[in-house]
A = this chain, B = another copy of it.
Amino acid sequence: MAKLKQKDSAYLCRDKFATRAETLEKLINLWHFEKKIESIELKLSSGRICSEDIFSKNTLPVCRAAGADGVAVRYVDFENGIPDFSNWREGQDYVAADMGDDFDDKFDTVLWIEDFQFSNQGKIIAITPSDEVFKGHLVKQKGAMLQKDELVLKKGDIINPFRLGLLASAGIKNINVYKKPVIAYIPSGNELVMAGSEVKRGENIESNSLMVEYMLQQWGAETEIFPIVKDEKSELEKVIDKALKIADIILLNGGSSMGTEDYSSSLLAEKSEYLQHGVRSIPGIPVAVAVINGKPVVNLPGPPFAAWCTLDWCVKGLISNYYGREFMPRPKINARLKNSIQKPLVHEMYVRLKLEKIGEEYNALPISDKMRYSEIAISWNALFIAPIGKEKWEIDEIIEVELLDV
């Protein structure tokens, strides 16, 4: 049980809080991280970020090749117009050469396959070139696709599917990429039991870690989920110290509420170079962010949606900064608001929406916090982030909403 004492009144002066952009900027400025590099097999590199410029090991085609599906011939035979091909033999006077095919060095020019007519026995019965024949026509030069030592991907580039194919062509077997940032997640609370356990009176299930792990992995982080820590300062300190040794970012989840924050708050105050309580963003106002040994420590709010939001703006922002690249934005569409939204002027607010397509238009119904957890989870398919500086959105107002993957 937490010791009851007076709340700090500054905690309640919410318009003094930093915005989420300011909070994130502060953390990033104080964060000292080293981007480590690892060499991994190309086939395991999907979605990873190159830690250096990558150069081709191959030249492709290795030798000049057909640049289209065609027939390889000798240019000299066509120098003075269509030759007499009545005695031509395949392999001797011409040869099939599909796009990318090598062919015998005695041929130097490729004509379109469509320019030939063949008998049922495969003998040429007509050649009618559809364009001017010149020496080297439709011949792809050696290295036309790739040259050895050619730059194929830049430091900081993500390995997407198309690039993965290119890297394979370039003969890359192992590739240097940035190691994923390691994010430790430390759930705490005397009442918590692990997911999958029997839950008794006075207990609650630690369900956030599954959500946290999923979100962080989606964003390219490696996760270290710690066992549940009891609400005791010395225990928590031990675990934080352990996490600081292995992780780049530390997430706490538990003691950020008004009642129990004391011990985690005083612990963060003692240990951190920087500590900030609260952010002007709903839900998740009571979030505490700190920097300890140059590493961001974020005390996520306990309620799942508040934790979701803090992960979304804060932890995703940190990961983006680690990799030095922006994440894809969520797809946005315009929708008609089907209930009003009201919030304090000084706060931003994440609003969960149930989006429905009506003909060619979309209706967006804000999901009430009073709805049951299960109903929220089933119907929540879009998001509206209501900005600071406006208090009310009216019914039928058109808003720009972000789609979620449901």
User: A: which residues have CB within 8 A of B?
Assistant: 1-7, 12, 42-43, 46, 56, 58, 60-63, 69-71, 90, 95-102, 113-114, 116-118, 120, 122, 145-146, 150-154, 157-158, 160-171, 173, 191, 195-196, 199-208, 210-215, 217-218, 257-260, 302-305, 308, 328-332, 372-374, 377-378, 380, 403-406
Q: By the criterion CB–CB under 8 Å, are B373 and A166 in contact?
A: yes
**What residue in chain B is nearest A194 (Cβ atoms)?**
B168
Show 17 A/B contacts (Cβ-Cβ < 8 Å), sorted by A. Answer: A1-B96, A4-B71, A7-B114, A62-B200, A69-B258, A69-B259, A100-B204, A113-B259, A146-B373, A151-B374, A158-B405, A162-B308, A162-B380, A168-B205, A168-B206, A169-B205, A331-B331
Report which of B61, B95, B145, B403 forms a contact with A328, defined as CB distance below 8 A. B403
Q: By the criterion CB–CB under 8 Å, are B62 and A199 in contact?
A: yes
Count of identical protomers in the assembly = 2
Q: By the criterion CB–CB under 8 Å, are A102 and B201 in contact?
A: yes
**What residue in chain B is nearest A403 (Cβ atoms)?**
B328
Report which of B3, B191, B213 forms a contact with A122, defined as CB distance below 8 A. B3
Known: A162-B211, A258-B69. A60 touches B204 (CB 8 A): yes
Q: By the criterion CB–CB under 8 Å, are A98 and B377 in contact?
A: no
Known: A168-B195, A211-B162. A157 touches B100 (CB 8 A): no
Report which of B69, B259, B374 forms a contact with A166, defined as CB distance below 8 A. B374
**Nearest Cβ in chain B — how far from A245, in angstroms?**
25
**What residue in chain B is nearest A352 (Cβ atoms)?**
B162
**Nearest Cβ in chain B — how far from A261, in angstroms?**
9
Complex alpha-carbon distance, A258 and B372, angstroms? 60
**What residue in chain B is nearest A328 (Cβ atoms)?**
B405
Q: By the criterion CB–CB under 8 Å, are B191 and A100 in contact?
A: yes
**Nearest Cβ in chain B — how far from A190, in angstroms?**
9
Complex alpha-carbon distance, A374 and B144, angstroms? 11
